[in-house]
Structure 1
Amino acid sequence: MDLGILVPLAPFIMVLGIIWLVNNRKLEEKRISATAEASSEKAAQYASQVTQLEDRVAVLERIVTDRGYDVATQIEALRDTREVEAQDSGTPLNIKSGERA
Structure 2
Amino acid sequence: MEWMVGFAPFAMVLGIIWIVQRGKLEEKKLAATAEATGEKAAQYASRVQELEDRVKVLERIVTDRGYDVATQIEALRDTVNVEQEGSGVPLTINDREKA
What is the TM-score of this pair, normalised by structure 2? Answer: 0.67
User: What letter corresponds to residue 9 of structure 2 in structure 1?
Assistant: P
Over the aligned positions, Cα root-mean-square deviation in angstroms equals: 1.7
Please tell me whether Structure 1 or Structure 2 has the larger radius of gyration of its CA atoms: 1
Paired with 2:14 and 2:32, the residues of 1 have a C-alpha distance of: 27
- How many residue pairs match? The answer is 72
Residue of structure 1 in register with 2:78 after alignment: none
- Which letter maps to 2:45? A
1:65 corresponds to 2:63: yes
Which of 25, 40, 51 aligns to 1:42? It is 40
- Look up the match of 1:93: none
- In structure 1, what is the Cα distance between the partners aligned to 2:61 and 2:9? 78
Deviations 1:25-58 (A, max 9, x none): 0000000000000000000000000000000000
> Structure 1 residue 9: deviation in Å?
1.0
Runs of 4+ in 1 over 4 A off after TM superposition: none
Identical aligned residues as a percent: 68
Q: Distance in 1 between matches of 2:22 and 2:14?
A: 12
